[in-house]
Amino acid sequence: MRCELHAEWTKLRTSPATGWLLLAVVAVTVVLSTATAALVTCPSSGCGHDATRISLTGVQVSQALVAVLAALTISSEHTTGMIRTSITAMPRRVRILAAKAIVLTGPTLAAGAIGVVGAVVAAGRLLPGNGFTSAHGYGPLSLADGSTLRAVAGSVLYLVLIALLSLGIATAVRDAATAIGVVLSLLYLVPIIALLISDPQWQRLLRQISPTNAGLTIQVTTDVSSLPISPWAGMGVLAGWTAAALLGGNLMLRRRDA
Amino acid sequence: MQATIEVNDLHKRFGSTVALDGMTFTVRPGRVTGFVGPNGAGKSTTMRVILGLDAAASGSALVGGRPYRTLRFPYRHVGALLDAAALQPSRSARHHLLWQAHSQGLGARRVDEVIDLVGLRQAARRKAGGYSLGMRQRLGVAAALLGDPPVLMLDEPFNGLDPEGIVWIRGLLRSLAAEGRAILVSSHLMSELQDVAGHIVVVGRGRVVADTSMADLIGQHATLEDAYLELTRDAVEFRGAS
């Protein structure tokens, strides 16, 4: 497995798209979170906003970049035909997928951590100016606070799981455009459908099982008891999606002619 | 490890099309074995089955006595050039070889050796996507030689090479065979094989129609091309009106 990891790491670091996409993950997470924090105001005591969640808004967009990066690591091989070279070099196909998953985790974790911590630090400087003050019931954002730490660490973990989910789906569907389309639909279309459904029972169910809705409950630090699913259970739902996608992708990779 | 490729009674269909219909032959060390046949005869499919890319419905394909999929570092057993375009165009040629070397437990030094061997040193740091077909063929040959394998399998290696390149690869194949390696080369260019191959396997409609030494084959016909056309007359699927 060591040689497969080395090979996949060399592929990842010598692909020009990798560096740009990771940089974009950091930038988008920080900039969009900061912009949101700059726009939201808390004019009076008990305005009902979740300051931690506001400062992590950028994750909702940077997850798309993470998903694209992950999908490309395998679907660009299928599109170009390089997958045949990969399988010739590494005939035990499950090891290719496992190595890709492992080498993808490191950079995603690093970019996600820099982006998320950067977002909280930047937003934490702006929010007091917009009325998020102790007079209105808000302390300064701090990683020493248990629920904020959970939201921050959970957001990084969320991005890693989204990357692996996307890798699994892309392995199964192969074509780059199709893979990215399927992943982005799953990430963004399902939450929109949940918004449009009027029946509260169905809406609740959809929010419990959608990878984005369930996974992002990890960012919520206020009114946790009113969530359709608890933060770590929501992360568990996303992990379930990721595991299913990787298992499905592995099955397809092993079964099909390359 | 013995330097051989043993293909035994391979069968495979794509939908209703029979691709392999009892394909059986052996590639022996110390000589170049030419692998010829019309389009759709099963040459590439056979090579893909040998490499474990495609699964055969039945039959076996062994490299040095072992199924390809069980090889820990396959490049050290077989070097293969199947599709020179099977690379990511935005990666440099050197990096394309580097990840393959790493997958075999080899290092950058071996990469630079094979780059020199195929004459790509000047262009090695350029994006492989900008390569001409001939340069990609050289890159593919470099990858095939990475693991210094006792067995080589090249699908249409003359494709896209300029005359200098054809002379070069002909000499390379001869010297690799002289070192005792088993070499299987598919080609449409009969004249090229006539100069290089000591043995010929002619296939049509998924099976072997002739498996003989070049000398015997030429002895019965004026040229290899004549022999080929005679043997594959009934196996050609696509033919213009004459």
- Residues B107 and B101: their CA atoms lie apart, in Å, by 6
- Position A72, amino acid: L
A30-53 residues labelled b (16+ CB within 10 A) or e (exposed): bbbbbebbeebebeeeeeebbbbb
Q: What is the pTM of this model?
A: 0.91
The CA–CA distances, whole Å, from B79 to B44, B74, B109, B169 equal 15, 8, 18, 15
- Residues A154 and A158: their CA atoms lie apart, in Å, by 6
Q: Which A-chain residues 117-136 have CB contacts (< 8 A) with chain B?
A: none
CB contact under 8 A, B103 and A7: yes
- A-chain CB neighbours of B141 within 8 Å are none
End-to-end CA distance of chain B: 50
In this complex, the residue of A14, A90, A258 whose CB is nearest that of residue B103 is A90
Over range B40-66, report the average pLDDT.
93
DSSP-derived secondary structure letter, A56: T
State residue B189's pLDDT score: 67
- Position B11, amino acid: H
Q: Is residue A221 part of a domain?
A: no
CB contact under 8 A, B100 and A11: no
User: For residue B71, is it left (φ>0), alpha (ψ between -120 and 50) or beta?
Assistant: beta
* Residue B124 to chain A, least CA–CA distance (Å): 14
- B-chain CB neighbours of A84 within 8 Å are 53, 82-83, 86
State residue B217's pLDDT score: 80
Q: Does A89 touch chain B (CB under 8 A)?
A: yes
Over range B23-49, report the average pLDDT.
92
- Residues B217 and B222: their CA atoms lie apart, in Å, by 9
Residue that has been written with the tokens 């072992």 in this structure: B66
Q: Would you state the structure tokens that stand for residue B184, as one six-digit string?
A: 């299987």
- A-chain CB neighbours of B51 within 8 Å are 87-88, 91
Q: How many domains does chain A have?
A: 1
- A-chain CB neighbours of B75 within 8 Å are 89
Domain encompassing residue A112? 2-41+49-180+250-255
Q: Is residue A227 part of a domain?
A: no
* Residue B115 to chain A, least CA–CA distance (Å): 18
Q: Is residue A166 part of a domain?
A: yes
Strand partners, B204: B207
Within 10 angstroms of residue A3's Cβ, the number of other Cβ atoms is 19
In a mutagenesis test of the B interface, which of A74, A83, A85 is the best target, namely the one with the most B β-carbons within 10 Å? A85
Q: Does A208 touch chain B (CB under 8 A)?
A: no
What percent of chain A lies above the pLDDT cut of 90? 67
Q: Is residue A241 part of a domain?
A: no
Count CA within 13 A, CB hemisphere, residue A253: 30
The DSSP line for A136-200 is GT-PPP-TTSHHHHHHHHHHHHHHHHHHHHHHHHHHHH--HHHHHHHHHIIIIIHHHHHHH---H
- For A22-74, what is each residue's pLDDT tens digit? 999 999 999 999 999 888 888 877 788 888 999 999 999 999 999 999 999 99
Burial class (CB in 10 A: 0-12, 13-18, 19+), A90: buried
In this complex, the residue of B80, B86, B91 whose CB is nearest that of residue A81 is B86
Q: Is residue A61 part of a domain?
A: yes
CB contact under 8 A, A89 and B52: no
Residue of B nearest to A90 (CA): B103
Whether B187 and B156 have beta carbons less than 8 Å apart is answered as: yes
- For A134-146, what is each residue's pLDDT tens digit? 888 787 887 878 8
Q: Which residue has the higher pLDDT, A75 or A226?
A: A75
- For B199-238, what is each residue's pLDDT tens digit? 999 998 899 998 988 888 877 777 777 878 888 877 766 6
CB contact under 8 A, A258 and B54: yes
The DSSP line for A34-55 is HHHHHH----STT----HHHHT
- Residues B57 and B15: their CA atoms lie apart, in Å, by 12
CB contact under 8 A, B73 and A3: yes
Per DSSP, helices labelled H in A40-145 are 51-54, 59-80, 82-89, 93-126
- For B111-141, what is each residue's pLDDT tens digit? 999 999 999 999 999 999 999 999 999 999 9
Give ipTM to 2 decimals: 0.90
Q: Does A258 touch chain B (CB under 8 A)?
A: yes
* Residue B72 to chain A, least CA–CA distance (Å): 8
Burial class (CB in 10 A: 0-12, 13-18, 19+), A143: middle
